[in-house]
Structure 1
Amino acid sequence: MTSWRVTLPCTRSEAEALGEDISVFAALDSPPVLVTSEAEPDRPDQWRLDAYFDEKPSRSELALVVSLVPSAAGARPTAERIADQDWVTLSQQGLEPIRAGRFFVHTPAHRDAVPPGTVAFEIDAGRAFGTGQHETTTGCLIALDALKRQGAIFTDVADIGTGTGLLAFAALRLWPAARAIASDIDPVAIEVAAENAAINAVAVGRARGRVELAVAAGMDHLRLRARAPYDLVVANILAGPLIDLAPGLAGALAPGGRLILAGLLEHQAARVTAAYRRQGMMPSFRIVRGDWPTLVLRKRRRVGARR
C-alpha cells in the first residue's frame, strides 16, 4: 500500500497538544493519521510531527498540517511518498498500552497483553483524539477510578468532547446501571466512538447501561439538555472552551454532582477553576500528569448558600 508522509519539526508542548486539534481535518473524506515523536533523545524539547495520508495531499491539506504547529508558521512542507507501508499500523508502533488506575487501554497490536484483573479497552489510533496516550485522557481515567474508590455512585453521565468514546465507556464499566451520553463537535469523532463501542462490547442506546452518541458543540443539543441534570459530567476539551462552557456544564449538573475537567495546562488551572467557582462549583481534588492537570469539582448542594 502506498501512502504519503508530511513531516514538521515541533516542540514537545506542541506535540502534546496536537490531539486537541484533530477537528481541523473533519471536512476531509480521509483524514491523515498524526504521529508525534521525540526527534533527539538528548534534546527533549525537539519533537517532530508526521502526518500520514493515503493519497498525495493537496496544498490546502499541507496548509492544515502547518496550522497545527505554531512554531512552523510560514513553513512549506513537502509530501514524501512511502511505498508498501500500512500507515495505520505504523502509527500504532509507538503507542504502548496505558495503565491508568484499574484501566488498561491498548491498540490492536497489544490485544494479547491485557493484564488480569484490569478493565481493558481497545482503542485504535487514527481519526479521533482520546486513545489514552495523552496525559489529559489518562488523567480523566485516573479521576474516574479515584471517584469509584471513594464510593461515589453515578446514574446519569455525560462525556462532552468524547473523541473516541473512551471516557464514556470507562464510566459505564464503573457504574453499569448508569445512563450515559457522549457528544463531540466533530462528526468523525462520533463515527469513531460508535466503532469503538462495537469493538469493546459497549451497547449504544438511551437505556441504562448504554451510551447515547450525539454530534454537538458543548451542551448545544436537544438530547443533552433533555437528559439533564447529570450527576457526573466529564469534559476533556481545552481551557478556553472550558471557561466558555462553565455556565452550561455547571447548569447541567444536579446539586452535589461531580465535574471532571481536562485539556488545560497547569498555568491555566486557576482561571478555569475560578470560572466554575462562579457557577457554584467547588474543587474536590486534582490529578496532575506532567503539565496537564485534571480537575475534579463538586456542585454545591444549594448555590449561594452560606458556607
Structure 2
Amino acid sequence: MTQTRLYFTTGKIESVSIFAALEAAFEDEGLPIAVIEVDEDKDIHEVSLYADGDVDMVETRLKDVLAELSLPKQIEREALPDIDWVAHSLEELKPVRAGRFFVHGAHDRRKRHSGELAIEIEAGLAFGTGHHGTTAGCLEMLERVVRREHPRNALDLGTGSAVLAIAIVKLAHIPVLATDIDPVAVRVAAANARLNHVKALVETATAPGFHHPIFGKRAPFDLIVANILARPLMRLAPQMADHIALGGSIVLSGILERQRDAVVSAYVGQNFRHVRTLHREGWVTIHLKH
C-alpha cells in the first residue's frame, strides 16, 4: 500500500517530546515515526510520521498532538512509492568487515570467514548497521582496546542497534550495559542481542544521559563506548569522568575530523589522556584513558 510521509522540522529538545507524544497517540495504529538530524550546527531535526489510508485524518490528529504541546508546525507531505523498503535495503546492503568483525544481514550468513566475529543486524532494524564510518571505526578501536586492557565491565552509551555492545561481548565475554534515549532503539538493541546469542550479558535500558539510576548500580565502568555526536559528547565529558574506573578507557565517535581537537580538549580538561585517533571516511574514533 502506498504511504504518505508527513514531516516537519524542529529542534532536538522539542523532537524528543514530540516523538514521545506521537508514539503514544499513534500506538494503536503502529504508524512508523522517525526523527533524523538534518543540521547539527543549526539544531535542525526532521520528524516524520508515515501514514496510509485516510492521510487527512492522520494529519489532523498530528496537528492536534502538536497543538497540545503548544508546538504548532508547518506540516509537509511526500507520497512514497509502493516499495518493500526492507527487501530493497537488503539488496543494496553489503556485509562490512572491520578488524575481526563481520557485520551482516541474514542473507549474507554464509559469507562469514573462519575466525571472524560475526554480528547479524537486519536492515529493517537499522539503528547502526556497521556501514557508517563511525561504527566501523569503533569496531576496529574496540578490538585493540579490549585485547590490550581486558575490561570487566562496559557501557555502550547511545547503543542504537547494539552493534558495539554485541562486539564487546564477543571480544571479552563480559557484561555490557547498553542504553539509548530512544525506546525504539532500545527494543531493537535487545532484539539484536537475542539474535546474536549474547542477551545474557547485554542489559538494555532507555536512559537519557547519565541520569538513570541504573548507572549508579553498574558504575564504575572499565570501558565506555559512545558513538553519538561531537557536541553531546563534549557536554558529557564530566559525567564520563564520574562513571569511568581509574585507568579505564573511553572510545568516542560520531565526530567529524574538524571536530576532533575540540572533543579531545573537553576530555583532557576532565583528566583524560589521549591515546589514539583513528580516521575513517571523514570521521574519527578517539581512544582516551582516565
TM-score range, shorter chain: 0.7 to 0.9
Contact 2:275 2:289 in 1 (8 A): yes
Contact 2:4 2:77 in 1 (8 A): no
CA drift of 1:94 comes to: 1.4
Match for residue 174 of structure 1? 171
TM-score w.r.t. length of structure 1: 0.73
CA drift of 1:165 comes to: 0.9
Which one of 271, 279, 287 corresponds to residue 280 of structure 1?
271
Amino acid at match of 2:110: D
Amino acid at match of 1:100: A
Contact 2:31 2:49 in 1 (8 A): no
Match for residue 215 of structure 2? 224
Query: What is the correspondence of 1:208-219 to structure 2 with a 5 Å cutoff?
Result: 210-219=201-210
Report the more deviating stretch, 21-30 or 180-189: 21-30
Match for residue 159 of structure 1? 156
Amino acid at match of 2:259: Q
- Write the deviation string for residues 39-72 of structure 1: whole angstroms up to 9, x where unpaired: xxxxxxxxxxxx9957366559999xxxxxxxxx
Mapped partners of 1:148, 1:245: distance in 2: 23
Match for residue 79 of structure 2? 79
Match for residue 44 of structure 2? none
Structure 2 residue 235 is the aligned partner of structure 1 residue 244? yes
Match for residue 203 of structure 1? 199
Q: 1:106 to 1:60 in 2, by over 3 A?
A: farther
Percentage of pairs with the same residue:
40
Tell me, what secondary structure is at the counterpart of 1:220?
A: coil
Match for residue 145 of structure 1? 143
CA drift of 1:290 comes to: 1.3
Match for residue 186 of structure 2? 190
> Which structure 2 residue ranges, 5 or more long, are not aligned?
8-14, 24-29, 36-47, 64-73
Match for residue 31 of structure 1? 32
Contact 2:227 2:252 in 1 (8 A): yes
Mapped partners of 2:287, 2:157: distance in 1: 15
Match for residue 95 of structure 1? 93
**Aligned residue pair count:** 254
> Which structure 1 residue ranges, 5 or more long, are not aligned?
9-20, 35-50, 64-73, 205-209, 300-307
- Write the deviation string for residues 7-64 of structure 1: whole angstroms up to 9, x where unpaired: x9xxxxxxxxxxxx99986644442689xxxxxxxxxxxxxxxx9957366559999x
Match for residue 253 of structure 2? 262
CA drift of 1:203 comes to: 2.4
Two-structure CA RMSD over aligned residues (Å): 3.2
Match for residue 42 of structure 1? none
Mapped partners of 1:279, 1:223: distance in 2: 23
Query: What is the correspondence of 1:43-62 to structure 2 with a 5 Å cutoff?
Result: 53=50, 55=52, 59=59
Which one of 247, 250, 253 corresponds to residue 244 of structure 2?
253
CA drift of 1:75 comes to: 10
Query: Which has the larger helix fraction?
Result: 2
Contact 1:114 1:120 in 2 (8 A): yes
CA drift of 1:142 comes to: 0.6
Contact 1:159 1:233 in 2 (8 A): yes
Mapped partners of 1:133, 1:144: distance in 2: 16
Mapped partners of 2:61, 2:111: distance in 1: 37
Tell me, what secondary structure is at the counterpart of 1:78?
A: strand
CA drift of 1:238 comes to: 0.8
Q: 1:187 to 1:76 in 2, by over 3 A?
A: closer
TM-score w.r.t. length of structure 2: 0.77
Q: 1:32 to 1:124 in 2, by over 3 A?
A: farther
Amino acid at match of 1:169: I
Tell me, what secondary structure is at the counterpart of 2:161?
A: coil
Mapped partners of 2:153, 2:139: distance in 1: 17
Query: What is the correspondence of 1:296-307 to structure 2 with a 5 Å cutoff?
Result: 296-299=287-290
